[in-house]
Amino acid sequence: MSTLRKKVAERLVAVKNQTAMLTTFNEVDMSAVLELRKKYQKSFQEKYGIKVGLMSFFAKAVTEAIPHFPQVNGRIEDNNIVIPGYVDVGIAVSTPKGLMVPVIRNAESLSVPELELKIAELAQKARDNKISIEELTGGTISITNGGVFGSMLSTPIINPPQSAILGMHNIVERPMAINGRVEIRPVMYVALSYDHRIIDGKESVGFLVKVKEMIENPERMLFGGNDPLAGLLGV
């Protein structure tokens, strides 16, 4: 085993032994985001030089959902619960040397294009073995996408000392009940693994539902995850 593989193995076993890890699931209708990408992909690529992916939308949704459920962004430190006032998102990247999780600092202050550019930059550095230790440490929550390998569903393992990790999966056309009618929609199953010592079921489920709402209604990301029409009415 390589030194990196040994270290990763130690951390994964420690997570299983030292946390009360649970996973909650939900399904997301990806129609709105896929349509948004299709409509603006050419303009986005011309302006930023890269294609807009799905990870940046989920990263944005996570940063907007955290203020509603701050415990999801926390950690346990010396029997104290620490809730950072910022969101450093770790993005799991598969490299020839194994799994790495580069960290996007202060992701809550970044737009979707800025997140996309940062994800691409860090992922390439990780694959080229040019990533620094500083860029791999200090995250407050992570996102992993097993869907790129064809995974339908999984229970991702928390990246310590973080308390939660969001798992994305593949998109499959499935029948859904829409306003009393069956329609075929592109659906992704999502998972949130969390440390039950700090995050209760209500918070974990509520957080995942909030992320789901924003992916299904991307305009909510511009309003802190809230319904813009409800905000207009002050309710």
Q: Is residue 69 in a domain?
A: yes
* pLDDT in the model for residue 2: 82
As a whole number of angstroms, the distance between CA 166 and CA 190 comes to 7
As a whole number of angstroms, the distance between CA 223 and CA 214 comes to 10
Which CATH number goes with the domain that contains 61? 3.30.559.10
Active site positions, annotated = 196, 200
Percent of the chain at pLDDT exceeding 70: 100
Which whole number is the average pLDDT over 196-217?
Answer: 97
Q: Has residue 235 got a pLDDT over 80?
A: no
* pLDDT in the model for residue 96: 84
Residue 136 pLDDT grade (very low, low, confident, very high; cuts 50, 70, 90): very high
As a whole number of angstroms, the distance between CA 210 and CA 225 comes to 7
* pLDDT in the model for residue 95: 86
Q: Is residue 179 in a domain?
A: yes
Q: Is residue 232 in a domain?
A: no
Threshold 0.75, pTM exceeds = yes
Q: Is residue 44 in a domain?
A: yes
- Comparing CA positions, the residue from 135, 116, 115 lying closest to residue 125 is 135
Tally Cβ neighbours within 10 Å of residue 229: 10
More confident residue, 2 or 75: 75
Helices 112-127 and 55-65, axial angle in degrees (round to 10): 120
Q: Has residue 163 got a pLDDT over 90?
A: yes
More confident residue, 46 or 95: 46
Q: Has residue 4 got a pLDDT over 80?
A: no
Q: Is residue 234 in a domain?
A: no
Q: Is residue 229 in a domain?
A: no
Total tally of structural domains belonging to the chain = 1
Q: Is residue 235 in a domain?
A: no
Residue 24 pLDDT grade (very low, low, confident, very high; cuts 50, 70, 90): very high
- Non-local CB neighbours of 231 within 8 Å, separated by 6+ positions: 223
Which whole number is the average pLDDT over 192-202?
Answer: 97
Q: Has residue 12 got a pLDDT over 90?
A: no
Residue 207 pLDDT grade (very low, low, confident, very high; cuts 50, 70, 90): very high
* pLDDT in the model for residue 118: 97
Peptide bond into 161 cis (omega under 30): yes
The domain of 173 spans 3-223
Q: What is the three-state SS of the chain?
A: CCHHHHHHHHHHHHHHHHCCEEEEEEEEECHHHHHHHHHHHHHHHHHHCCCCCCHHHHHHHHHHHHHHCHHHHCEEECCEEECCCCCCEEECEEECCEEECCEECCHHHCCHHHHHHHHHHHHHHHHCCCCCCHHHCCCCEEEEEHHHHCCCCCCCCCCCCCCEEEEECCEEEEEEEECCEEEEEEEEEEEEEEECCCCCHHHHHHHHHHHHHHHHCHHHHHHCCCCHHHHHHCC
CB 76 within 8 A of CB 186: no
CA 104 to chain centre: 12
pLDDT digits (tens, 9 = 90+) for 37-56: 999 999 999 999 999 999 99
Q: Is residue 123 in a domain?
A: yes
Residue 22 pLDDT grade (very low, low, confident, very high; cuts 50, 70, 90): very high
- Non-local CB neighbours of 15 within 8 Å, separated by 6+ positions: 21, 157, 158, 159, 160
Write down the mean pLDDT value for the chain.
94
Q: Has residue 9 got a pLDDT over 90?
A: no
* pLDDT in the model for residue 82: 97
